Amino acid sequence: MKLAINYLLSALRILTGWLFLYEGIDKLMDTGWSARYYLLGSRWILSGFFEWIASSSFLMAAIDFIMVWGLIATGLFLFIGLFIRWVSVAGIVLLAFFFVAYPPFPGYDFGSVSEGSYLWVNKNLILVFVLGVFALLPKSFTYGIDRLIRRWKEEAPHSHKVNENNPGALQQRRELLRNLISVPFIGAFAYALYKKKKWDSWEEKFLTDQTDGTTGATLLSFSYSQLDELKGEIPKGRIGDMELSRLIMGGNLIGGWAHARDLIYASQLVKSYHDDRRVLGTMELAEKCGINAIITNPSLARVINKYWHETSGRMKFISDCGYHAGIQEGVRMSEEAGASAMYYHGGYADSAAAAGNFDDFKRVLDLIRNYGKPAGIGAHRLETIEACVAHGIKPDYWVKTFHYHNYWSAQVAPDQKNIESIWCDDPAKTIAFMNQLEEPWIAFKVLAAGAIKPEEGFIAAFEAGADFICVGMYDFQVVQDCNIALDALSNVKQRNRPWRG
């Protein structure tokens, strides 16, 4: 029984060392790695201290060095069973640092890397107790260099020449082999590292450098280090008393309402990609880039409130108030969910205007304003806005589609206005009419649901007179879209409509 326990404890120590060793080597091989963004993402009791460290290049260089070589040294010595007690204590210190930075408490572990769902207990805490066991365990309980040295010290005063007839010779050889138990594991580790490096080199050569065409999702993995590529912060405007970034997040992608023409699987694919953690991460990255608002539906109020609760984010929620029980119920739900502004949903507004139900517009705007929030009207059809203006309906802002028809699917059947390809029937007429209006204009569908390149769609919308643009973004597109918006705002030359807001 004791022999089995010794083997199990030795295996546990070696596997723990494997984890530490590879963590350190992986960071050492990644020339761009730094703990800086890890520290900046922390929100618990030492977040201010971590931010102070991250602000100093000297301290960060020291922390990065300690982190990499501390992990490597801890892992290597645990692996071979040398100085087990001291490296276990060192490992506990490192793990305590990780635990305090991202404790598995609701609201404080957002942004940390995890292999599953945690509640108060995570891998770091478990490893702290594992190392605590090794720190207190007598050397005789695991096989390794420590035990080998201890045996030599004990046997040295009584040593004598060993011959083949010595009954203790065989036992000594077995003891030596047991204490070198980590040797095959070292071989396995080296082989695994070699295979991974070989695969990484092959992948870089054949899947990156020699591809004919790639998408952003193929090559760019989400990382807060992307923020280093940000050119600046998105400028702000105003709707009433509400400060609003000129680039606003769209909620269709995170809600699963994906326009993809006849690709019937697209909406389900988007829903599968955007679990809660992905959505929260996308919103937090957007807010760090200066985007301070998202336009979405009351049905997503749960995830918006989760974002506010679990992060320090202040992303504004602009609700379209679209709800199956009616717009007024959607307004009430949006107010309860903490919406900063609300508007009459574009699809509902088109139907109401076509039916001549303009009293409903007034009731909805009054209800929103009674809550003390900016009240808007959305529309896909320009006729909806023209009719509202003709009936004296004056919202605080408009939410209107805009895009040109310079993409192939718009040319397939340009006379079929109801196909899912064209959302702005007459761009020139839209520009001319919106130029007359004094209220701020949020343009949406500016990329025609992914058919137009952002470099073309953003500047086209701003030059058309839009004061703000609403764009759906995946996490890997956020920084790029912000940079494109900054370039577009800096190069607007043909805009005739004064900036509103």
In angstroms, the first-to-last Cα distance of the chain is: 78
In this prediction, residue 419 carries a pLDDT of 58
So what's the pLDDT on residue 396? Answer: 98
> E strand or H helix at 358, and its extent?
helix 358-370
Rounded mean pLDDT of 233-255?
Answer: 92
In this prediction, residues 300-309 reach a mean pLDDT of 87
Instruction: Measure the CA–CA gap between 213 and 413, rounded to whole angstroms.
Output: 28
Q: Which long-range contacts (CB under 8 A, 24 or more apart) does 478-482 make?
A: 478/226, 478/282, 478/285, 478/286, 478/289, 478/291, 479/226, 479/227, 479/229, 479/230, 479/285, 479/289, 480/216, 480/454, 481/247, 481/454, 482/230, 482/231, 482/234, 482/247, 482/286, 482/289, 482/290, 482/291
- Half-sphere exposure of residue 7, counting CA atoms within 13 Å on the CB side? 7
Class of domain 223-490: alpha beta
Report the pLDDT value the prediction gives residue 170, as an integer from 0 to 100.
64
Q: Are strands 316-319 and 293-296 parallel, antiparallel or unpaired?
A: parallel
- Write down the domain spans for the chain: 2-157+170-200, 223-490
pLDDT at position 60:
92
Structure token digits, residue 468: 């703000």
pLDDT mean over 92-98: 93
Least confident of 193-202, 219-228, 393-402: 219-228
Mean pLDDT of 380-390: 97
C-beta of residue 54 within 8 angstroms of C-beta of residue 39: yes
pLDDT at 216: 33
Mean pLDDT of 267-295: 87
What distance in Å separates the CA atoms of residue 327 and residue 278, rounded to the nearest whole number?
29
**What's the pLDDT at 205?**
47
Residue 47 buriedness (CB in 10 A; 0-12 / 13-18 / 19+): middle
Question: Which pLDDT belongs to residue 376?
Answer: 98
Q: How confident is the model at residue 114 (pLDDT cuts 50, 70, 90)?
A: low
Question: Distance between CA atoms of 102 and 110, rounded to whole angstroms?
Answer: 8
CA distance 80 to 453: 55
Quick one: tokens of 430?
């839209």
pLDDT at 361: 97
Angstrom distance (rounded) from CA 251 to CA 1 = 60
Cα separation, 2 vs 9, in Å, equals 11
- pLDDT on residue 199: 60
Query: Is residue 225 scored above 90 in pLDDT?
Result: no
pLDDT band at 384 (very low <50, low <70, confident <90, very high): very high
Q: How far apart are CA 306 and CA 61, in angstroms?
A: 35
Q: Which tops the pLDDT comparison, 95 or 178?
A: 95
d(Cα 349, Cα 244) in Å, to the nearest integer? 23
Q: Is pLDDT of 353 > 90? A: yes
Q: How far apart are CA 442 and CA 468, in angstroms?
A: 5
Confidence of residue 211 (pLDDT cuts 50, 70, 90): very low
Length of the chain: 501
Instruction: Express each pLDDT in 62-79 by its tens digit.
Output: 999 999 999 999 999 999
Which of 343, 330, 322, 285 has its CA nearest to residue 476?
A: 285
- Report whether 379 contacts 424 (CB < 8 A): no
Q: Tokens representing 483?
A: 């940079």
User: In the structure, what pLDDT confidence band is assigned to residue 161 with cuts at 50, 70 and 90?
Assistant: low
- Overall average pLDDT of the 207-215 stretch: 39
Mean pLDDT of all residues in 130-151: 89
Q: How confident is the model at residue 280 (pLDDT cuts 50, 70, 90)?
A: confident
Say what percent of the chain tops pLDDT 90: 53
Strand partners, 119: 121
Mean pLDDT of the chain: 86
Task: Report phi then psi at 289, rounded to 5.
Answer: -85, -5
Rounded Cα–Cα distance for residues 270 and 273 (Å): 5
Q: Is the predicted pLDDT of residue 37 greater than 80, yes or no?
A: no
> What is the reported pLDDT for 33?
81
Most confident residue range from 223-227, 230-234, 381-385: 381-385
Q: What is the mean pLDDT of residues 243-262?
A: 84
pLDDT at 110 over 90: no
DSSP string for residues in 146-159: HHHHHHHHHHGGG-
Higher pLDDT residue, 252 or 429?
429
On the question of pLDDT at 320 being above 60, the answer is yes
Q: Tell me which DSSP letter residue 372 carries.
A: T
